[in-house]
Amino acid sequence: MTRALRFHAGQPARPVDPNELPDLPGGGIWCDVQRAELDRPAAAALQAWLEALGPSTAQRLRQEDPRRIAIAQPTFVHIRLPIPDPTVPARTPPTGRRRRPEPPAAVASIPLDVIVGEGFLLTLADRPLPALEQTFAAYAKADAQAAGPDFALYHLLVAALDAAFTAADRLVAAAEEVDERLVRLSEAHLLSRIVAVRHRALRLRGLLDPARDGLRLLSAAGQAGAVAAEVRPYLDDLARATEARLEAIESVRAGMGEAVEAYTSVQSTEMNRVMRIFTVVAVVLAPPMLIASIYGMNFIMPEYGWVHGYSWALALMLASSFLLWAYFHVRRWL
């Protein structure tokens, strides 16, 4: 599906027949294309745009590799952003103390190619994206007005990055929850929770890194003239918001690494304390067991004929255990 809008200053955007696109990119047009349309003969006007942008650009557009692209040319900027796939449901964080958290779901993404230059915007994706559909539909309404495709690009980026921003904010909240559980050590599967949050941080960073690089290029293009200068403050603001989320994600990733070390250290200390208690208990019970084993031998002993022999044996056991317990208590081993 190929569609296009033409922007007029102070007027609503008007739909344009894709076959009536100008021979060269420009004219205040936003052209939205799905990747499968690139090689169809019906898109002759689009092929003229691709030839004008250069063979290397057309080749990159045909590649479905989701790797990042951030290229600045004299007349246009080409960026590729991984947009979270809305068809993959996010897993709900586990609640309660006894539920084992599920492994983090893979952050599926759809590559969105954006090419912007003076007076034109070209977007391309494998399949429809909610952010793209929402923005395009808003400008396609008769009462929607915009200064040009540059502002449409800004609104598209805001809608596309909103899900990643929300996920980053939730990640910070999850990291704070891990810190609280680490202090209490009340979560049976705290280590799994820490690892899950760390994995989410790495995947979110992979989504927002390309957006940061692309926004920097677009801001520079606004200074050079490839993008309207009026849009540059908005792009700078969006770039700062993206940078803030990335800093928070990096802080969470580093914090989770420290949390793993703290968790293992606390667990090791707790294990040492438990082993020390078991050792003290074993040592305290060793003398009574020794006395009981001595008097349990099948030999005739003088105490067998003594009327207080049984009491003597019990008193000896209790006294030896108490003296050892008092010694450990004085040494603060308990």
Domain ranges of the chain: 2-253, 269-330
Measured torsion, CA atoms of residues 109, 115, 121, 122, in degrees rounded to the nearest 10: -60
Q: What is the mean pLDDT of the chain?
A: 79
Please give the single-letter amino acid code of residue 72: A
User: What pLDDT does residue 105 have?
Assistant: 45
| C-alpha to C-alpha distance for 118 and 225, rounded to whole angstroms | 7
Second-level CATH architecture of 269-330: Up-down Bundle (1.20)
> Model confidence over 100-137: pLDDT tens digits?
444 444 457 788 899 998 889 999 988 888 888 888 88
Please give the single-letter amino acid code of residue 151: F
> What is the percent of the chain with per-residue pLDDT over 70, rounded to a whole number?
86
More confident residue, 224 or 15: 15
Residue 211 backbone dihedrals phi, psi, to 5 degrees: -65, -40
More confident residue, 333 or 203: 203
| C-alpha to C-alpha distance for 248 and 59, rounded to whole angstroms | 36
**DSSP structure class, residue 98:** S
Is 269-330 the same fold as 2-253?
no
User: What pLDDT does residue 145 have?
Assistant: 60
Q: What is the mean pLDDT of residues 193-200?
A: 80
> Model confidence over 268-301: pLDDT tens digits?
777 887 888 888 888 888 888 888 888 787 777 7
> Model confidence over 292-313: pLDDT tens digits?
888 787 777 777 778 788 888 8
> Model confidence over 232-263: pLDDT tens digits?
888 888 889 898 888 888 888 888 877 777 77
Specify the pTM: 0.65
Second-level CATH architecture of 2-253: 2-Layer Sandwich (3.30)
